[in-house]
Amino acid sequence: QVQLVQSGAEVKKPGASVKVSCKASGYTFSNHEINWVRQAPGQGLEWVGWMNPNTGNVAYAEKFQGRVTMTRQTSINTAYMELSRLQSDDTAVYFCAREDGSGWYYFHYWGQGTLVTVSS
């Protein structure tokens, strides 16, 4: 069965960077884009960006341009999202999600989420 398993919670100081991993299993990793979505406490879902595991191509939401980097290690079916210059409003649960569909797009499989807390 398809699974996305994320790394554990992180606590970072303002100005630091965090790297979250998302290990895929149960399907061919290179066949589906991995998206990252975050949710601040009490807030809605916010799309961060996507990465094509086959080509390494990425697209980031404008507000994260210059601060986010999405990469992958195909040998271990793992995607990564690194966010730099963290501020308190980056405190959120970060989810990875597998993109499906053609013509219409959806996220059927999600990771369990990784809580990133930014605090001095």
Positions touching another protein (CB under 8 A) are: 35, 37, 44-47, 50, 59, 61, 95, 101, 103-108, 110-113
Tokens representing residue 27 in the block: 């399907």
Cβ-Cβ contacts under 8 Å for 119 (sequence gap 6 or more):
11, 12, 13, 14, 88, 91
Cβ-Cβ contacts under 8 Å for 108 (sequence gap 6 or more):
2, 98, 100
Phi, psi of 14 (to 5 degrees): -55, 135
Alpha-carbon Rg for the chain, nearest whole angstrom, is 14
* Nearest approach, Cβ of residue 85 and another protein (Å): 21
* Nearest approach, Cβ of residue 45 and another protein (Å): 4
Nearer to another protein, 5 or 16 (CB): 5
Strands 92-100 and 18-25: unpaired
Nearer to another protein, 47 or 84 (CB): 47
Tokens representing residue 61 in the block: 């939401």
Nearer to another protein, 16 or 45 (CB): 45
* Nearest approach, Cβ of residue 115 and another protein (Å): 11
Nearer to another protein, 13 or 106 (CB): 106
